[in-house]
Structure 1
Amino acid sequence: MLDDTDRRLLRQFQADPNLSTAELAEKAGITQATCWRRLERLQARGVLRGQQALIDWRALGYEVEVSLRVTLDKTQPRAFDDFLAAAREVPEVLEIQTFLGQVDVRLSVIARDMAHYQQVYRSQILTLPHISDLDALMHVARIKEDQVLPV
């Protein structure tokens, strides 16, 4: 699927996505035209899905992160659909993951402080539909957070 040139290009792109095409081509050891064509091909194949701005929510005053493990009432036929639709509407929910096993859903929730978290928890999380069990894990430290893939 990927040849050595694609891998070299992706490594350089991951290391510094702000490089111009000319700078990226130079670092990857290819011509600018080749770099452009390969980037276009990687995008067309869905390998590169675009670029995004990463905003540090802590810099905006959010200090609390909680991971909520949710078990849904699976006797309700629309439990997953209803829950996920409602959870998407909570602005403080940054991530929603679904699982197979005891835990059905994990929500990553942020808040400015504990008082704000308690308000979000009581008014928006506990009112989500079809919850049969809820477990909160208070985030203490992020040991590794890396989006760089070993290409």
Structure 2
Amino acid sequence: MLIDDADRRILRHLLADSDLANADLAARAGVTPATCWRRVERMRAAGIIAVPVAVINWRALGYEVEVSLRFNLDKTEPRAFDEFLAAARDVPEVIAIETFLGRVDVRLNVIARDMAQYQQIYRTRILTLPHIADIEALMLIATIKDESALPL
């Protein structure tokens, strides 16, 4: 689906404030409310605008530690990826799972309230995941940029 300048304006304003009412969004984008609603619905139907989700600030809930774990899996087992990913999904402290082509097979982002809790999660939940050949841990110090916006 091709988008035009009006669609781009709508998307820019939605990225800046996803809670805007349709009338406010239309006014900021310079279109009528009816036009804005139709365009937003068309972009939703095309999959350009995904379902709105709540973004939870887990640090505000007391989680101070984030560790990115990079795994290489034992690829001699044909179901290694599927079984590892299924087990990783069941770890509540895993907030992101990503797979890669290259030197790293899978990355998990794990959160914990403090280092003691992280050690407990690591020993009892992470090390028990199936088919691990190697793990590398990277402790998050600071997030410099975390943005899903496109240059529209």
TM-score calculated relative to the size of structure 2: 0.98
Count of residues in correspondence between the two structures:
151
User: What is the distance in 1 between the residues matched to 2:24 and 2:63?
Assistant: 36
Letter of the aligned partner of 2:81 in structure 1? F
User: What is the distance in 2 between the residues matched to 1:51 and 1:99?
Assistant: 26
1:97 aligned partner: 98
User: What is the distance in 2 between the residues matched to 1:40 and 1:137?
Assistant: 41
Q: Which runs of 5+ in 1 are unaligned?
A: none
1:17 aligned partner: 18
User: What is the distance in 2 between the residues matched to 1:119 and 1:89?
Assistant: 16
Query: How far 1:29 moved relative to its partner?
Result: 0.3
Query: How far 1:129 moved relative to its partner?
Result: 0.1
2:143 aligned partner: 142
User: What is the distance in 1 between the residues matched to 2:57 and 2:16?
Assistant: 19
User: What is the distance in 1 between the residues matched to 2:13 and 2:139?
Assistant: 35
- Deviations along 1:42-64, one digit per CA (max 9) or x if unpaired, are 00000001211111000101000
Q: CA RMSD in A?
A: 0.6
Query: How far 1:126 moved relative to its partner?
Result: 0.1
2:69 aligned partner: 68
Letter of the aligned partner of 1:105 in structure 2? V
| Secondary structure of 1:40's aligned partner | helix
User: What is the distance in 2 between the residues matched to 1:104 and 1:125?
Assistant: 15
Note the 1:41-80 alignment, pairs <5 A: 41-80=42-81
Identity among equivalent pairs (%) = 65
Query: How far 1:18 moved relative to its partner?
Result: 1.1
Q: Which runs of 5+ in 2 are unaligned?
A: none
TM-score calculated relative to the size of structure 1: 0.98
Matched, 1:33 2:34: yes
Which shifted more, 27-36 or 10-19?
Answer: 10-19
Query: How far 1:93 moved relative to its partner?
Result: 0.3
